[in-house]
């Protein structure tokens, strides 16, 4: 789920005026501390790596979330952006911020969908893009360590001649440490898992500059039963507990054969039934994605495709020639028993890439249905195009709305509230992907309950007692 914050109709016409006031509040709260810290920040990473310009601050104060365009008052820019080059600089910069009580907001590539990079209390944005080294590749152990500026596509390009790859694919070319920070997943999760299953170790800089290695410095065990799982504590922490400066990731062998297929169905139910039965049959399918008829039509128009405008599954199989024959036959037989069409195959790389690019472009295809409007992604459904990772029980409803129409905004807001609580009532989660950020804090409280939230708050208080690390995210404001 991705939930709109509460928004009264009376607030919308005054949005710009409120934004200007809020920006002033964000900045003035830390101005005195910032003036005292600037020379120390520059002494750590150089004059050229400490920027105060409005354009760079605005760029680092927003992501691709609804908060950036519908609720811009929530997306305050930081007071300064720093560009560290190594963990030593990150640690030293954090110590300066800690001394001057300046909030710290980590920034990767800005592709998040929950307002996680907004500097709601001003402060210092740590832009990590200059830390872009791939380190410590262990081919025989199937793992690699990367710095926070390395993106998913950059890593797989680096691995191209090794016979290995990193399969977690959220669609966007996000930074890998950013993906860990939000516990990202994507189309391959049904076979390879999410970031939570694929991070072996993390190097983390805490609010006071302390450097922690969650599984021990330099260690990369395939499995461990040694103590608390500190690695998973920081996976999904969204920068609220520390800055991720290295991630050791699990790698996989590149499959000998990859084939993709498209299958059309007479109804949503028949497509879902086929998915469940394919998984129950033990088919190790790599991807199985669902698009409803509205989304198929949108993708056809946007990506120049010609698939039947009916509920559709996109499937992908990984393995050897021998193993794939049985997998494909089982999946095709099950699909046809539920009224599915013959599989339309995409075997060569170019055709497969076109197919999956169309799936990843679903967001933009939905936008094109109503030019000039905006879309927001909801990880479940109602009226609006539906696309999703049906193989692991997560799908998105993309609501295309006019942000200048307060009545339509209010309708979508009420719908998302009902939808989130329906998911929780069915013992699900308010966020299968994308994290909590600004938009789901109240829902997180409802999902976890009072006792679990008390433990969560205690962990935050212990690791970040001054509430400097990305304040205002995940947890409700103190006293709120």
pLDDT per residue over 187-205, tens digit each?
899 999 999 999 999 999 9
- Which range has highest mean pLDDT (166-175, 241-250, 349-358)? 241-250
Indicate the pLDDT class of residue 479, thresholds 50, 70 and 90.
low
Is the separation of the CB atoms in 333 and 305 below 8 Å?
no
Query: Same structural domain for residues 371 and 345?
Result: yes
Is the separation of the CB atoms in 39 and 100 below 8 Å?
no
Indicate the pLDDT class of residue 29, thresholds 50, 70 and 90.
very low
C-alpha to C-alpha distance for 327 and 90, rounded to whole angstroms: 48
Query: Same structural domain for residues 280 and 340?
Result: yes
- The mean per-residue pLDDT over the stretch 396-413 comes to 81
Q: Is residue 438 part of a domain?
A: no
Is the separation of the CB atoms in 408 and 7 below 8 Å?
no
Q: What pLDDT is stored for residue 324 in this prediction? A: 92
Q: Is residue 21 part of a domain?
A: no
Q: What pLDDT is stored for residue 478 in this prediction? A: 66
Residue, of 372 and 270, whose pLDDT is higher: 270
Domain carrying residue 237: 134-253
Q: What pLDDT is stored for residue 6 in this prediction? A: 31
Q: What pLDDT is stored for residue 16 in this prediction? A: 36
C-alpha to C-alpha distance for 210 and 146, rounded to whole angstroms: 20
Is the separation of the CB atoms in 132 and 236 below 8 Å?
no
User: What percentage of residues in the chain have a pLDDT greater than 70?
Assistant: 89
Query: Same structural domain for residues 337 and 249?
Result: no
Residue 80's domain is classified under what CATH number?
3.30.43.10
Q: What pLDDT is stored for residue 373 in this prediction? A: 64
Boundary-marking domain end, from 253, 284, 306: 253
pLDDT per residue over 55-80, tens digit each?
999 999 888 777 766 665 566 899 99
User: What percentage of residues in the chain have a pLDDT greater than 90?
Assistant: 62
Q: What pLDDT is stored for residue 24 in this prediction? A: 41
Residue with tokens 């005292």: 36
Compute the residue count for the chain: 480
DSSP state of 139: G
Query: Same structural domain for residues 247 and 325?
Result: no
Contacts (Cβ under 8 Å, ≥6 apart) of 9: 406, 407, 410
Residue 335 has pLDDT above 50, yes or no: yes
Domain total in the chain: 3
pLDDT per residue over 226-246, tens digit each?
999 999 999 999 999 999 999
pLDDT per residue over 377-401, tens digit each?
554 333 478 888 888 888 788 887 7
| Sheet-wide strand order for 104-107 | 50-51, 80-82, 124-127, 104-107
Q: What pLDDT is stored for residue 346 in this prediction? A: 85
pLDDT per residue over 98-152, tens digit each?
999 999 999 999 888 888 899 999 999 999 999 999 999 999 999 999 999 999 9
Q: Is residue 478 part of a domain?
A: no
Query: Same structural domain for residues 368 and 292?
Result: yes
C-alpha to C-alpha distance for 60 and 182, rounded to whole angstroms: 17
Average pLDDT taken over every residue of the chain: 87
Q: What pLDDT is stored for residue 375 in this prediction? A: 59
Residue 278's domain is classified under what CATH number?
3.30.70.2190
pLDDT per residue over 450-459, tens digit each?
999 999 999 9
Q: What pLDDT is stored for residue 110 in this prediction? A: 87
Query: Same structural domain for residues 375 and 271?
Result: yes
Is the separation of the CB atoms in 259 and 345 below 8 Å?
yes
């Amino acid at each position: 789920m991705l939930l709109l914050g509460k928004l009264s109709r009376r607030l919308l016409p005054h949005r710009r005026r409120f934004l200007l006031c809020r920006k002033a509040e964000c900045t003035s709260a830390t101005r005195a501390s910032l003036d005292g810290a600037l020379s120390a920040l520059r002494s750590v990473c150089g004059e050229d790596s400490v920027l105060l310009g409005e354009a760079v601050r605005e760029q680092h104060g927003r992501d691709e979330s609804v908060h950036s365009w519908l609720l811009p008052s929530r997306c305050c820019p930081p007071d300064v952006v720093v560009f560290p080059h190594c963990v030593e600089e990150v640690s030293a910069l954090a110590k300066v911020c800690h001394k001057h009580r300046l909030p710290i907001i980590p920034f990767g590539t800005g592709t998040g969908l929950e307002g996680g990079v907004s500097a709601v209390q001003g402060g210092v944005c740590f832009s990590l893009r200059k830390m872009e080294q791939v380190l410590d590749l262990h081919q025989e152990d199937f793992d690699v360590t990367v710095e926070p500026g390395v993106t998913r596509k950059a890593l797989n390009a680096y691995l191209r001649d090794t016979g290995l790859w990193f399969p977690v694919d959220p669609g966007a070319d996000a930074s890998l440490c950013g993906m860990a920070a939000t516990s990202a997943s994507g189309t391959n999760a049904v076979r390879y898992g999410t970031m939570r299953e694929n991070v072996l170790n993390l190097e983390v800089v805490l609010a006071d500059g302390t450097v922690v290695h969650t599984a021990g410095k330099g260690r990369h065990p395939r499995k461990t039963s040694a103590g608390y799982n500190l690695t998973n504590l920081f996976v999904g922490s969204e920068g609220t507990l520390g800055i991720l400066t290295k991630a050791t990731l699990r790698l996989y062998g590149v499959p000998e054969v990859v084939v993709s297929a498209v299958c059309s169905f007479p109804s949503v139910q028949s497509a879902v039934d086929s998915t469940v039965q394919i998984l129950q049959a033990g088919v190790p399918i790599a991807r199985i994605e669902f698009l409803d008829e509205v989304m198929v039509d949108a993708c056809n128009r946007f990506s120049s495709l010609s698939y039947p405008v009916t509920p559709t599954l996109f499937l992908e199989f990984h393995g050897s020639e021998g193993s794939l024959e049985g997998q494909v036959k089982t999946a095709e037989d099950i699909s046809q028993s539920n009224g599915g069409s013959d599989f339309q195959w995409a075997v060569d790389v170019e055709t497969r890439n076109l197919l999956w690019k169309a799936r990843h472009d679903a967001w933009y295809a939905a936008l094109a249905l109503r030019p000039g409007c905006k879309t927001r992604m909801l990880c479940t459904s109602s009226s609006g195009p539906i696309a999703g990772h049906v193989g692991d029980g997560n799908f998105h409803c993309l609501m295309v709305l006019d942000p200048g129409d307060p009545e339509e905004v209010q309708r979508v807001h009420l719908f998302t509230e009902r939808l989130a609580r329906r998911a929780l009532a069915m013992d699900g989660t308010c966020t299968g992907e994308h994290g909590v950020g600004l938009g789901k804090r109240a829902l997180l409280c409802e999902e976890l309950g009072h006792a679990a939230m008390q433990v969560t708050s205690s962990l935050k208080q212990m690791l970040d007692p001054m509430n400097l690390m990305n304040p205002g995210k995940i947890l409700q404001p103190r006293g709120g």
